[in-house]
Homo-oligomer: A and B are copies of this chain.
């Protein structure tokens, strides 16, 4: 691998375009980015950006600004999901639990496959940035 190729292998993922980043593609591949940048001024809908995709795992950045799941909507996912609040706060309702679970910066939650849940609220005053690992 030439120096030029190596330089290309380290690429910014600021645009958060889907990228195959498993070691199966190339053992040289490095992919760097930030979760805190590249957020539009207007955010009529939540943003879901796939920042890492392999056979077993999908890692997303999600940005919410006061958004919530539509009335009556429940996530019911084939895979387990690990979420981390990188910035902001959110209220999650798990169908089987009586109370809304409040998550703030640094909090994580693992949600098993087919555990029905919905986002009741996200902070209206700042962007809530989530990291979600689907596995």
State the A residues within 8 Å of B (CB).
1, 6, 10, 21-23, 25-37, 51-52, 54, 56-57, 59, 79-80, 82, 84, 86-87, 94, 96-97, 101, 103, 105-115, 129, 131, 133, 135
What's the nearest-Cβ distance from chain B to residue A129, in Å?
8
- Of chain B, the residue at the smallest CB distance from A99 is B10
Name the B residues within 8 Å of A6 (CB-CB): 96-97
Give Cα distance in the complex from A56 to B113, angstroms: 14
From B23, B26, B31, B57, A109 is in contact (CB under 8 Å) with B31
Q: A22-B80, A59-B82, A113-B27 are in contact. Are A51 and B108 (CB under 8 A)?
A: yes
Q: A23-B80, A57-B56, A86-B84 are in contact. Are A30 and B106 (CB under 8 A)?
A: no
Give Cα distance in the complex from A27 to B6, angstroms: 43
Question: Is B109 touching A30 in the complex (CB atoms < 8 A)?
Answer: yes
Give Cα distance in the complex from A133 to B110, angstroms: 13
Question: Is A29 touching B112 in the complex (CB atoms < 8 A)?
Answer: yes
Name the B residues within 8 Å of A113 (CB-CB): 23, 27
